[in-house]
Amino acid sequence: MAVSFTNRLKTTPLSKARGLVWQKMADAMLGTKYDLSVVFTADAFMHKLNMTYRQKDKPTNVLAFPIADDSGEIYLDIPYIKRESKKYDHAPEVHLDYLFIHGLLHLAGHDHGDEMEHHERRLMKKHISR
C-alpha cells in the first residue's frame, strides 16, 4: 500500500514513527494494494470540504472519501482535533490516532454506530500504546 501524507500546516503533526504505525494499520484494514492519501489541514479548508460534500456549514475533525475500490483520502483538521481533545480529556496525539482509525473504518465501509465504536476501541488498544 502506498500511504502519502500531505501537510497543509506550518507544523508537522505526525512523527515518522507514528506514520509507520499508521501505515501498518492502513495495510491491515484496507489491504496492501490500497492507495491512501492523508491530508493534515486546518479549519478553513475543512469547513469548505464539509460544506461542499456534506452541506454542513462548519469545520469538522475528520472526513474520509473513498475514491475507488483501491484508493481513498482522509482529511484531518489538526487545530479542531487539538481543541476537541480537551473535551475528551486526553492528549491531542491520542485523539488524532483515534480519528485516523475512524477514517480508516469509514473507508473500509463502516457506518457510525456500536459496531464501529467497538472496532475503534479494539484498534486503539491493538495499535496505539499510550
Cα-flanking dihedrals φ and ψ of residue 56, to 5°? -115, 120
Residue 120: enclosing H or E segment and its boundaries?
A: helix 114-127
Residue-level pLDDT, tens digit, the chain, 130 residues: 578 888 888 888 888 888 888 999 999 899 999 999 999 999 999 999 999 999 999 999 999 999 999 999 999 999 999 999 999 888 899 999 999 999 999 999 988 889 888 888 888 888 776 5
Q: How many domains does the chain have?
A: 1
Strands 62-68 vs 71-77: parallel, antiparallel or unpaired: antiparallel
**Under a CB-based contact definition with an 8 Å cutoff, are residues 106 and 75 in contact?**
no
**Which domain does 66 fall in, by range?**
2-127
Q: Write the CATH number for 73.
A: 3.40.390.30
pTM: 0.91
Q: What DSSP string describes 62-96?
A: EEEEEEETTEEEEEEEHHHHHHHHHHTTS-HHHHH
